Structure 1
Amino acid sequence: MKKIFIILAIVLTVVIIIHRNNLQPNKIPKMVPVLMYHHFEVDKNDSNEMIVKKSEFEKQMRYLKNNGYTPISMKELKKFVEGRSDLPKNPILITADDGYLSNYNIMYPILKKLNMKATIFIVGNYIDNAGKTNSKLPKLTWNKIKEMYDSGLIGIGCHTYSSHVKGDTISGKMGIFSSPLLGETKKEYEKRINNDIEKNINAIKLNLGYQPISFAYPYGDWSETSEKILKDNGIKFTFVASGGKEAYIQKSYLLKRVCVNGSYNMEDFKRELAKQN
Structure 2
Amino acid sequence: MISAVIAVALVGAGVCAVALTLGPEAPPVTDEAVASATPSETPTPTPTPLTPAEALLATSTDPQSCAVSFAGDGVALDPQLQTQGVRYQNLPIPRAEGRVFAGWYDAAADAAAMTQTARLNGADLVTCTDRQRTLHAGWTTPEANTAEAAGIPILMYHQFTRNPKGEDNWLRLNYAYIGDFDAQMAHIQQSRFYLPTWDELSAFIDGKLYLPKHSVIITDDDADSTWLEMAAPIVNDRKLLTTSFVITSARSEGPPNPFVLQRSHTHDMHRAGANGKGRMVNDDADTIAADLNRSAQVLGAKEVVAYPFGHYNDTTKEGLRRAGFELGRTIEHGYVRIGTDKLALPVIRMNYGMTVDDLVKEIG
Aligned to 1:98: 222
Task: Kindly indicate whether residue 288 of structure 2 is the aligned counterpart of residue 193 of structure 1.
Answer: yes
- Helix, strand or coil for the counterpart of 2:250? helix
Cα shift readout 1:42-66 (whole Å, capped 9, x = no counterpart): 3355141111111110111122233
Cα shift readout 1:75-110 (whole Å, capped 9, x = no counterpart): 332354466654344111111111113333222221
TM superposition shift of 1:125: 0.7
Cα shift readout 1:142-172 (whole Å, capped 9, x = no counterpart): 14x1x52xx2x22221111111112332xxx
Which among 32, 40, 43 is matched to residue 160 of structure 2?
40
Alignment check: 8 A CA contact 1:29 1:90 kept:
no
Task: Kindly indicate whether residue 358 of structure 2 is the aligned counterpart of residue 237 of structure 1.
Answer: no
Alignment check: 8 A CA contact 1:23 1:86 kept:
no
Quick one: structure 1 residues 197 and 18, their matched pair in 2 at CA, closer, same or farther if it must change by over 3 Å?
closer
Aligned to 1:59: 183
Aligned to 2:308: 218
Q: Give matches, 1:1-277, under 5 Å.
A: 19-20=99-100, 22=140, 24=142, 25-26=145-146, 28-43=148-163, 45-47=166-168, 48-81=172-205, 85-128=209-252, 142-143=253-254, 145=255, 147-148=256-257, 151=258, 153-169=259-275, 173-180=276-283, 189-205=284-300, 211-243=301-333, 245-251=334-340, 252-273=342-363
CA distance in 2, matches of 1:81, 1:232: 21
Higher alpha-carbon Rg: 2
Quick one: structure 1 residues 272 and 83, their matched pair in 2 at CA, closer, same or farther if it must change by over 3 Å?
closer
Percent of matched pairs sharing the same residue: 19
Give, as a single letter, the amino acid of the residue that structure 2 aligns with 1:235: F
TM superposition shift of 1:212: 2.2
Structure 2 gaps, min length 5: 1-73, 75-95, 101-138
CA distance in 1, matches of 2:148, 2:323: 29
TM superposition shift of 1:272: 3.7
Give, as a single letter, the amino acid of the residue that structure 1 aligns with 2:269: S
TM superposition shift of 1:197: 1.1
Report the structure, 1 or 2, having the larger helix content. 1
CA distance in 2, matches of 1:65, 1:212: 28
Cα shift readout 1:107-163 (whole Å, capped 9, x = no counterpart): 2221122221111111111104xxxxxxxxxxxxx14x1x52xx2x22221111111
Structure 1 gaps, min length 5: 1-11, 129-141, 181-188, 206-210
TM-score norm. by structure 2 comes to 0.56
- Helix, strand or coil for the counterpart of 1:40? strand
Report the structure, 1 or 2, having the larger strand content. 2
CA distance in 2, matches of 1:82, 1:166: 34
Aligned length: 226
CA distance in 1, matches of 2:347, 2:241: 16
Alignment check: 8 A CA contact 2:150 2:213 kept:
no
Alignment check: 8 A CA contact 2:180 2:355 kept:
yes
RMSD over aligned CA atoms reads 2.6
Alignment check: 8 A CA contact 2:216 2:363 kept:
no
- Helix, strand or coil for the counterpart of 2:273? strand
